[in-house]
Amino acid sequence: MAVREILIHPDDRLVQVSRPVEFPLSDEVKELIRDMADTMYDAPGVGLAAPQVGELLRIAVTDTVWRDKEVRHDGDLPGGHRELKVWINPEFLWKSDEMETWEEGCLSVPETWGDVSRPAALRLRWFDEHGVQHEQDFDGFQAVALQHEFDHLDGKLFIDYLSPLKRRMITKKMKKLYKS
């Protein structure tokens, strides 16, 4: 297990569409999932998609349970509680017409936030790391976080929902701060 480098916008790999994962999972994919979890917690973040660490696979990890609780600014979770979820080949089956607006940020667009409107509820089908298929409804922050992470699998960032002017300003800022 290792902490991987998180790609920063405007890295071209962040706008590519990821390919489905095949089962059974290879040892390399299992290692990637462990590394993604380590990387997400180290950042710290509530989610991370494989393209953010340079792997164009339809995999994301999240831990949103602690989001609505008091979060310490040093990144530690209250009481050390973690509830890691692994999402492989996720597919939206339904999204509500009702929209909610949340302030979003992204590990690939550091120190940048913006209000994004997304469907307030959704139904999702996905596989876990054991190859078991699940189907469940989500709402609130978890629905927002899942949509945000799964956008990465389709080459989209939260800034794509912002005005063109704001996107250009953010891109210029990222290029200046994170020259490669």
Q: Which of 55, 104, 129, 149 is catalytic?
A: 149
- Are the C-beta atoms of residues 82 and 71 closer than 8 Å to each other? no
Transcribe 101-140 into DSSP letters.
EEEEEETTEEEEEEEEEEESEEEEEEE-TTS-EEEEEEEH
Residue 138 corresponds to which tokens in the numbers above? 């989500």
SS3 call for 91: strand
Query: What DSSP state is assigned to residue 57?
Result: B
Burial of 133 (0-12, 13-18, 19+ CB in 10 A): exposed
134 is in an annotated binding site: no
Q: Is 111 a catalytic residue?
A: no
- Provide the annotated active-site residues: 149
Binding residues: 106, 148, 152
Binding residues for Fe cation: 106, 148, 152
